[in-house]
């Protein structure tokens, strides 16, 4: 099985960048059938996004907007203009700040996020088409457009649309360069994966997955994997250096530890399932960890990390199950239909 998989991956990687598999032949990347379908689905995607949903900056969106405004005012990556933020990464606030600089407000940001989502859909569809054919590419793109919870990610200032666009673009760059441009493709992919890490740190785990994939099924592309990893590391390292210089430790690019505190405490999880994230502020350990500071400052995040790690040690199986429940909820939640 490993040999067959490696042979197929070699076939895919060796195809020219302009050709995707379709049935018994190959689909040109400029194939008219695919792009006409994509154009129709884009109209459906934008129409449904604007007609069925209202854009409202709330909760996490207000925090991202606040940090973007601090960047524009020259106060750096802070929430209050004084304390550096560590529980959030700077990618989305910087992107929002750029939009505010150009437009002057959040007007049009809903459309921007819808377009970012659609770009990620098209990238995934093209990747699928290269491996499985044109019919699969169109089917994948159609299915993604019809998944309503995905489109719901555009109704607030959230990190998912930008992250998905960067990450999908990185995968596309990795898979769609022919042998003569393999090094260039690796540099582009590593750069995009690194930028995606500044938006959502989960892409750091992609590095480990890439290494495993290379050694299991793509051993002929070890050099490519090394290029990707080195470029991604070079993009991420400045942020680790910033954390070390600011806080005295090279803090990994992690987000808020608060949700993990909930998932490692069974009683707190039961209350959260009924009352939502606001229950955090009613929990004594959480309130003690936060104190009077902004939750994403260094000190409260360090205390929350200690609480979360202790909870994981005490109940690893239960914590994992509650994490799975939360992920399932996140991918089935349609705003306005249930709490």
Could you report the per-residue pLDDT of 128-181, keeping only the tens digit for each?
887 788 888 899 999 999 887 788 788 888 888 999 999 999 888 887 655 556
Axis crossing angle, helix 222-247 with helix 204-217, rounded to the nearest 10: 160
Q: Which two tokens stand for residue 4?
A: 């067959």
Give pLDDT tens digits for 178-233: 555 677 888 898 899 999 989 988 887 777 777 677 666 666 677 878 888 889 88
Give pLDDT tens digits for 282-332: 566 666 655 556 666 667 777 777 777 887 788 888 878 877 777 676 555
Count CB-CB contacts under 10 A for residue 301. Answer: 26
Give pLDDT tens digits for 67-79: 899 998 888 888 7
Average pLDDT, the chain: 76
Give pLDDT tens digits for 231-252: 988 998 888 888 888 877 777 6
How does 224-256 read in b/e, with b if 16+ C-beta sit within 10 Å?
bbebbbebbbebbeebeebbeeeeeeebebbbb
Angle at 95 between CA 91 and CA 99, to 5 degrees: 170
SS3 state of residue 22: strand
pTM of the full predicted structure?
0.76
DSSP H or E run through 213 = helix 204-217
d(CA 45, CA 16): 30
d(CA 191, CA 228): 8
The per-residue DSSP string of 278-301 comes to GGGGGSHHHHHHHTTS-TTBHHHH
Distance of CA 245 to the CA centre of its chain: 26
């Amino acid at each position: 099985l490993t040999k067959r998989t490696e042979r197929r991956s070699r076939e895919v990687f060796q195809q020219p960048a302009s050709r995707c598999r379709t049935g018994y032949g190959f689909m040109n990347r400029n194939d008219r059938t695919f792009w006409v379908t994509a154009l129709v689905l884009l109209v459906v995607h934008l129409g449904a996004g604007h007609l069925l949903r209202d854009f409202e900056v709330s909760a996490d969106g207000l925090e991202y907007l606040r940090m973007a405004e601090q960047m524009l005012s020259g106060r750096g990556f802070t929430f209050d203009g004084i304390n550096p933020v560590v529980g959030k990464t700077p990618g989305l606030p910087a992107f929002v700040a750029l939009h505010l600089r150009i437009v002057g407000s959040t007007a049009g940001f809903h459309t921007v996020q819808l377009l970012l989502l659609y770009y990620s859909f098209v990238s995934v569809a093209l990747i699928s088409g290269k491996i499985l054919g044109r019919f699969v590419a169109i089917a994948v793109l159609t299915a993604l457009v019809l998944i309503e919870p995905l489109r719901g990610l555009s109704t607030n200032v959230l990190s998912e649309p930008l992250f998905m666009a960067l990450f999908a673009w990185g995968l596309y760059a990795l898979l769609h360069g022919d042998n003569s441009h393999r090094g260039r493709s690796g540099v582009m992919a590593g750069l995009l994966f690194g930028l995606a890490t500044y938006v959502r740190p989960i892409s750091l785990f992609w590095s480990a997955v890439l290494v495993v994939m290379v050694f299991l099924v793509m051993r002929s592309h070890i050099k490519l994997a090394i290029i990707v990893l080195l470029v991604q590391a070079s993009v991420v390292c400045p942020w680790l250096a910033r954390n070390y210089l600011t806080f005295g430790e090279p803090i990994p690019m992690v987000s808020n530890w608060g949700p993990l505190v909930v998932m490692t405490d069974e009683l707190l999880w039961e209350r959260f399932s009924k009352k939502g994230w606001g229950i955090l502020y009613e929990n004594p350990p959480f309130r003690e960890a936060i104190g009077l500071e902004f939750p994403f400052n260094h000190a409260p995040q360090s205390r929350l990390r200690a609480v979360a790690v202790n909870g994981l040690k005490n109940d690893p199986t239960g914590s994992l199950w509650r994490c799975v429940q939360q992920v399932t909820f996140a991918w089935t939640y349609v705003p306005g239909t249930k709490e």
